[in-house]
Each structure stands twice: as structure tokens, then as C-alpha cells.
A and B are shown apart, each in its own frame.
Chain A
Amino acid sequence: MPDHSQDAIMADAVLSEHEDPSLLAGMLNNRAIFWGGGLLILFALIAAIGPFLTLDPTELNPIKRLKSPSAEAWFGSDFLGRDIFSRVIYGARVSLVVGIAVALISVGIGLILGLVAGYVRVLDAVIMRTMDGLMSIPAILLAIALISLSGATLGTVILAIVIPEVPRVVRLVRAVVLTVREEPYVEAAIAAGTRLPLILKRHILPNTIAPLIVQATYVCASAMLTESILGFLGAGIPPEIPSWGNIMSEGRTYFQISPWIIFFPGIGLALTVLAVNIVGDGLRDTLDPRIARKI
């Protein structure tokens, strides 16, 4: 055996031991992540701290009904004289909590179901046909049905939005698993007697992380929209908790005389969803350039 191979390996080896620092730097350099993330952090701060600094969003003031925006009430007031500014700030909480909770829960459930469906042949058909069934039900109708069955609370709204989001995550994870399970390194692990849970954890799960993070941002944005739609239809968060959806719903009747009731929560919703989607695009580009080209 010629022994130049030992020198060769030293010469060939790239010195960067780990790829993560460059990945983090890449994320900060990405303008989409920078601006979208910045905007999102700003909204999160407003949602977290804002309600302590503003007026009580549920305080009625019959004298100041339907006032237009002024120095006193920045965004004006609604038909019960409640301060729209306080309500919009408080509503940001609901949107972000719903968006993030739905993203985390549906990605969590979808990941487990997707891994099992992709790897365990016997369960694949059962899980996927169930998911097909869920996908064929219109998301809004399903949510309305669930809420009318169990009553409208923050919890049921989140659950109602999670259920139709799960199949999308399951499909994504399953697709990744189906490609990766054919990789020779997975087969080598099988041949080496590695048990199934360890194969999933070591060799398959890491491949799903990048696409899942990206998918989570889209789920988050779509959940915030669905929450607002439900609120607008009167099937969402109960009216005593201000949310962008129910503020707009209540303002609908007065749209022609005081359009600001709908305008400001609408702006808040649009900007937040936009910020989340921009972050998602940026993450997609930095985490996996190959996916970026495919989508």
C-alpha cells in the first residue's frame, strides 16, 4: 500500500472544523432576515410591554364614542368609546401568541407523524389518508365547527387552527424522510444494527430541521391570518379579549363614518404577516440554498 495517502489527507482537509459560525453570520448578513426579524422583534416588544403603558383596552367611555385620531387618542376610539390604540397594541399579543403557538404545536405534531409515516411502511397509508381527509375539509369551516362545539377560548382557537395546519407539515416531513431513507448512509446504519429510534434521531431528523424551520414561519403567518378571519367572522377569540380580527369585525358597521377602527388593526396584521414571511424567505435562502432554488 503506497503511503502517500496519509500526507494527502492532511493536505486535503479543509480547516474549518464546524460550519455553524458561518451559518449564523450568513443569517445576520441576510437582509430579509435582518429587516423582517427586526420588525418582528419590534412587534413582539410592543406586544409584551405595550399593554402596561397604554389605557385599559376594555374601558368604556360613552362620551368619546367614534372619535377620529387625535393627539389624545392616537388611533381614535370605537362605538363604545374604547381607545383603538390600546386595543390594537393588546391585539398584537393575541396574534403573536396564536401564530407562534400554532407554529410550534403543528410542527411538533407534524414532525412526529411525518417521521413515522415516512419510515414505518405499515402506518404510512393510515396516517396519510387521515391527513388527506383533514386537508379536504376547508380550514375555516373546520375551525368554526370546532369552536361552536367547544366554545371560543384562546385554547380552542389555537387547536382549531392547528388541526388543518398539521397535514401540511406531515407531508413536508414525510417527503424529506422518503428521500433520506434511501441514502446509503442510512442503509449503512441499518446494516450496522442501529435501532429504529436511533436511526430516526441520528440520521433522519437532522435533515428535516431546515425545511421545518422555514415551514414553521409560513404556518405562523397563515395562523395569524386565520385567527383574524375567525375573529372577523365572530367565531374567534371572545370579544372581551381584543384581537385584530374582532376589532375589525366590530368596526365593520361603522366603516363609512370611522374607517380608522378597521384601518389600524388591518395595518398591524399586514405588517406582522409580511415580517414573518420575509423572515421565512430569508431563512429558506440561508438554511438550504437547494430548497430555495426548488420552491
Chain B
Amino acid sequence: MNEISDTPVLEIKGLSVLLPDGADREFAIEEVSFSIGRSEIVCIVGESGSGKSVTAFTVMGLIPKKDLVPVAGEILLHGENLLGKSDRQMRRLRGKKMGMVFQEPMTALNPVIKVGDQIAEILEIHANMSASARKKRVIETMEDVSLPEPVKMYDSYPHQLSGGQRQRIMIAMALVLEPGLLIADEPTTALDVTTQAEVLELIRDIQARHGTGVMFITHDFGVVADIADRVVVMQNGKVVEQGTRDEILSAPSHPYTKMLIGSVPSLTPPNRPIPEVAETALEAKALNKTYGRVGLFENGRMVKAAQDVELILRRGETLGVVGESGSGKSTVARCMVRLIDPTSGDINVAGTNIAQMAESELRAYRQKIQIVFQDPYRSLNPRRTVGQSIVEGPMNFGLSGTEAQSRAENLMRIVGLAPEALTRFPHQFSGGQRQRICIARALAMEPRVLIADEAVSALDVSVQAQVLRLLQDVRERYDLAMLFITHDLRVAAQICDRIMVMQRGVVVEEGRTSEVYANPQHPYTRSLLNAAPGRETNFARYS
């Protein structure tokens, strides 16, 4: 072995980056040290605010220099310190010596330039090549990232490609000059699980063939299990633990790592008692929802978001609806709450069909079905105190102000928050706390059915575990029927009694969670389960 290949591709030594005054802590990242060797994938994991993205952006030299100042340490790329480089020198290194792939491929690509030209632009800037040689090289690279028909796809615009294809274009852009270092910042987070599996496979394959060192940032331990050689765990800007994948995943030593890994929901459903057949709380019969219509200004394109969906939800059980984006699972949820009107079919609540009911009659039934949304930052009116948000519903139905207030205080305790916090505004709470408030708001209506539409998807894994426990807890306490919409098979395994799998608006499989997971019947269910990241890894358990 010669000396060059012994030098790590990237070595970060004692790196600290200062946060601007008035932030919640002094350093964005503090004393961060780790290295990435040739042909090595190092996963940086941590929850939001842990400093993993700041680390990546500092290496790329993409941090806003006014706000974030590196004050100590070194970043050595092939032994060369990047921190002393001028903007011009950094520009020459980016693309050539290091490439980056971002989370959201739609916004990272320019929507009005052909994808082929976007890749070619990198060559135009960094390499002295003729136009035809550039095009040839671009098409080779597109082949390399397994894009179908690269010659044809060269002239496509980003919106004409699928999410997975767009992310492949991003990877092709990052790799076209064969840099030694690839930085991938949550590259699969915005993708569906089956696409995610393909992109992970591609990254692994490419780095093996080209010997690229990869810094892979993720919050998902399933992804870590599938792709990492080594793992660096970050918390509040500091590296708390690093080691090989197996060391970290099966025998973590730091309490924070233990807590994180212990919070990863298992893909194996726990043994649940089969609930007695209770009364039906909510029933959908032949429910259809079609978007688009033929009209004077419409072009007549129709999308069948939900087709003949049949669903029975009984008191005291949790029914999961799983599927990828566009499967129609949220459409079903929103029809049930009548936030959208179903095109046809029945929705029975307490023996009454509310599917086509007029708003004036519907009001009485609104109380019975409540919903918790995905995005905790947009679910509460920022101009109203959380107390006002919680009492709004009950007061609509005639509860007096003082009664509603005491109900709200009681519910705050149940969801694990201090009743005094009712006078605060939403921006004063963290994401997990806001989601608790949303649950309290839904419960304030004393509903029979609680619909959770991706209610834990936007939360960090440790907070997610707490909110899941809370949902489970209130479901039992109030004997609710819960409809749990999620794309995350791990979460669904832990909370659902029964499960419904949807694909392109159609329910393809339904059954008891344990049976569906152990013995999936439909090919789509099988492909979903096979694509779930980290399915073969046993995460360390602490309980």
C-alpha cells in the first residue's frame, strides 16, 4: 500500500463552529472529529438540531459565513486543510474533489433546465472538454447511476422524472467528475420506501466501484443498518460516540445512543390480545374519491385517489392504513373527517351515513371524529394561545368557557404538559410538545374516533416513541377507535391491531398486523416489507 491510499479521504479534527449571538447554544458543532477512508461509508446520525447538516455544509464550504464561523479545528480533504481556502479555491474543489447530494431532489434541480445539461454544466465549469465529449461523458454517468434510456432522458426536465430518477440525476451530478468524497445529506428521506431501497443500493454499488468515501447523513437507523461501514452519533453539536456499524447498533455504549436505538420501533409486531368484537365506530362502504373533472376549462384528466375502499373500525382497536405517497391513504382519512367530499360511497358514523351530508347537518357528527395532522408546526394557529385552540371545539358545541377551560387543563395533564402552558403560543413549544397539544385538542371534543394522519412522521425518533405511547395510552383510556395513517411500517407494526395496505387508491391487502407482517399475501405488501430499511438488523433493546 502506498502512502496516498493510507491518507483518509476526509479527516475532521476538533472542528468547532460558532452560532450567532442569541441562539440556544454557543456552538453549532463543537470539537467534532472523525475521518472517512477510501471506499468507506460513514453515517452521521442524530436528531434534528444535532449539527449533522452543519458539519456537512462546513466541509463543502456552503455555510453562511456571516452567521456560522468555524473557530477551531481542521478539515483535511486528502490531507489539505479546507478551512484556510478562499472562496475561489473552494469553488474549484467542489464538484471536482467532493460532491454533494441533497434531501429534496425536486428543489435541488433547476426546473427549467434539461437534466442532461445540468450535469454537463459541472463538466463545463471544471473540465476542459468539447461539447460532444461532455455529452458523451454525461450519458455514461447517467448509465452508471442506472437511469433508463439516458440518451432520451438527457433532454428531460426534472418534473418529467420520478422522485427516484431525480435523485439519481443528483447523484450523477455529484459523481460526474469522480470526486473522492461524496456527501449525502438525507438523500432518501423524501423518497418512498421502495425507491429509497433502490437509491441506497445504488450509492453502495457506486462507492464500491469507484472507491468513493461517503459521508451519509441520516436520522433513520434502518438506513444506517443497511448502508453504513462506520457510524458517528451526534447530539447537540457534539460527537457522543463513534464506531463500526455493528458496535453502534448492537452494543452502543453512550446513554444517548442507547436511547436512540432503543426508540427505533421494531418491524416485528408485538403479540396483542385479539380484541373482542366491539361496536362499529366508523364504517366506509365502496368509498370513491376522484379528482379532476371535465369542464369548460379543465382538460378532463381524472385521478382516482380512492377506489371502492371498504373499511370497518371498531371501538377499542387501531386500524393502520399504510402505503407510499399517492396511495390514497390520506385521501381516505380526509374523506372520513369530511375535509374533502367523497365522490361516492357511504361513511357510517353511529348508524348515520355522513358521506354526502350538508355541512349544517354534518356539524353534529364532526364532534365524533377528530384528526391529528402530520406537521406540528402548521397544525396550530400561531396567533392563538394553545388554550384558545383547545377550547375552540368544545365551545362550538355549547360548553361554557369555564368548563372548557377545566377540560383543557385536565387534558394538558393527560398529554404530559403543564396546565399553566395553556396561555402560551405555539411557537414556544417543540415539535413533540405541539403534537401533544394537537392530541389534547382532538380529545377535547370527546370523540369516538381519532384519526392520526402521519401524526408521528415529522418527529425525531425518541419523541416519536413518546407520542406513540401517548396515542396508545389515550386510545385505551377513552376506548377510542383509532385510524392510523402512516408510510412507516415500523411504526405501524408497533401500534396497529389490524392493517390495510393501499396502492394507487386501492386496498390490496388487509388483515391482523402480525399475520400481514409474517405472511404477506399481495406482492406489493411483500415489496414494501422487503424494502423497509434495516429489516435484517436486530437493534439493541433496552426496556
Contacts and interface: CB of A to CB of B under 8 A. Distances in A.
Interface of A: 1-3, 5-6, 8-10, 12-14, 17, 183-185, 187-195, 202-203, 206
Given A13-B421, A194-B392, A1 B430 contact: no
B337 interface: yes
B378 A185 contact: yes
A3 B366 CA distance: 32
Contacts of B438: 188
A183 B375 CA distance: 10
Given A14-B428, A202-B384, A203-B381, A194 B396 contact: yes
Interface stretch (B38-46, B190-198, B466-474): B466-474
Interface in B396-413: 396-397
Interface string B426-457: 01111001001010010001000000000000
Contacts of B366: 190-193
Contacts of A185: 378-381, 389
B165 interface: no
A194 B395 CA distance: 9
Given A12-B433, A191-B370, A194-B396, A6 B380 contact: no
A14 B427 contact: yes
21 contacts: A1-B470, A6-B418, A9-B418, A14-B427, A14-B428, A17-B423, A184-B378, A185-B380, A187-B371, A188-B371, A188-B441, A190-B366, A191-B337, A192-B393, A192-B396, A193-B363, A193-B367, A194-B393, A194-B396, A195-B363, A202-B384
B373 interface: yes
A1 B371 CA distance: 22
Contact of B371 (A10, A14, A191, A203): A191
Interface of B: 337, 339, 363, 366-367, 369-371, 373-375, 378-381, 383-384, 389, 392-393, 396-397, 416-418, 421, 423-424, 427-430, 433, 436, 438, 441, 445, 466, 469-470, 473
B417 A184 contact: no
B191 to A, nearest CB: 23
B378 A183 contact: yes
Given A9-B418, A193-B393, A194-B396, A187 B429 contact: no
A195 to B, nearest CB: 7
B467 to A, nearest CB: 11
- Listed from nearest, the 10 A-B pairs whose CB atoms lie closest are A192-B393, A184-B373, A193-B366, A184-B379, A5-B416, A185-B381, A193-B396, A13-B428, A193-B363, A14-B428
Given A183-B378, A190-B339, A202-B392, 14 more contacts: A1-B469, A1-B473, A5-B416, A10-B418, A12-B428, A184-B374, A184-B375, A185-B379, A185-B380, A185-B381, A188-B373, A192-B370, A193-B445, A194-B396
Contact of B430 (A8, A183, A195): A8
Contacts of B428: 12-14
Nearest to B372: A188
A12 B429 contact: yes
A14 B22 CA distance: 12
Contacts of B424: 13
Contacts of B384: 202
A190 B445 CA distance: 13
Nearest to B465: A2
Contacts of A195: 363, 396
A1 B466 contact: yes
A3 B373 contact: no
